[in-house]
Structure 1
Amino acid sequence: MHEWLVNYGFYSLFLLSFLAATLLPLGSEWLVVTLLIGGQNPVAVVMVATAGNYLGALSTYWIGLYGGDFLRRRVLRMDEATTLKAERFYERFGSLSLLFSFLPVIGDPLCLVGGVLQVGFIRFSLLVLTGKLARYAAVAWLTLEGAAL
């Protein structure tokens, strides 16, 4: 599997980055590092990984947006009072947490909650894209700095 992912380069990176931003427990940083060490263009690697990861997060956001009522009532078992309280809190503080959507374990649920609580598409996109771009840029920078030593 490792060889297949490396051999298909940018296609693999996009797919793995996309899947890593869904609720599946995957990571794409290792492939970013592998491609950079292999001499791929750093800007292209960061852009492909960011695009795939953003679109994966967007799919999770849409699941929350369109399945929100079911998720809120049946899965999370939230009544109306709890829902209103959560919405007020998230409107005040929570949407900025989408900057941290790149973090393992909590990042994917943040995108799901962003959809459930109907964070605006543009706000969601700006915050998530910023966080994901910063993460992949940091991975690329650290990889290239480490390779230069």
Structure 2
Amino acid sequence: MLALWSLFVSAFISSTIAPGASEAVLAYQVAEQLQPVLILVAVATLGNTLGALTTWWLGSLTAKKFPAEHLLDKHRQKALRWVQHWGYWSLLFSWLPVVGDGLCFAGGWLKLPLFISTVLICVGKLCRYLFVAYWFV
């Protein structure tokens, strides 16, 4: 049970502003067969999705008080333009390092629909974790 919690926390932290190593934690746990692979992938996906939704929510809150152009660093401004152009489909790429956090923040900032944002974020993250698990089974 401790292994699952450590994976969940690592995945959650990895998808917020703080750096993390959820792929490495997942790869280790899959290789050591600590739990069934699908359970490990599900826990990592859930933690990472909830962390991304936290970032989405922070973007939504920030948009109420401050203009994006003055607050966002260069990566997040690029992410904001990307989301403005591609809409909620861009959230499929929320799993990408560096830019993924910015996409989630921008999605919240632009008040993209929460339900579809959640689904697309989850699908992108699930695909990434399935790929990682596949290589370490």
Q: In the alignment, what sits opposite 1:59?
A: 54
Amino acid at match of 2:68: R
Q: Separation in 2 of the partners of 1:130 and 1:138?
A: 12
Q: In the alignment, what sits opposite 1:35?
A: 29
Match of 2:122 among 126, 129, 149: 129
Q: Separation in 2 of the partners of 1:68 and 1:127?
A: 21
Gap regions ≥5 residues in structure 1: 1-6, 78-85, 145-149
Q: Separation in 2 of the partners of 1:112 and 1:42?
A: 30
Superposed CA RMSD: 2.1
Q: In the alignment, what sits opposite 2:76?
A: none
Contact kept? 1:64, 1:71, Cα under 8 Å: no
Q: Normalising by structure 2, what TM-score?
A: 0.85
**CA spacing shift, 1:36–1:105, aligned 2, 3 Å:** same
Q: Separation in 2 of the partners of 1:110 and 1:75?
A: 15
Q: Separation in 1 of the partners of 2:105 and 2:132?
A: 25
Following superposition, the deviation at residue 94 of structure 1 comes to 3.1
Contact kept? 1:19, 1:26, Cα under 8 Å: yes
How is 1:1-149 mapped onto 2 (pairs within 5 angstroms)? 8-39=2-33, 40-69=35-64, 70=66, 72=68, 74-76=70-72, 90=83, 93-144=86-137
Q: Separation in 2 of the partners of 1:71 and 1:15?
A: 31
Runs of 4 or more off by more than 2 Å in structure 1? 89-92
**CA spacing shift, 1:61–1:43, aligned 2, 3 Å:** same
Give the match's secondary structure for 2:18: coil
Q: Separation in 2 of the partners of 1:114 and 1:107?
A: 11
Gap regions ≥5 residues in structure 2: 74-79
Largest Rg, 1 or 2: 1
Give the match's secondary structure for 1:141: helix
Q: Normalising by structure 1, what TM-score?
A: 0.79
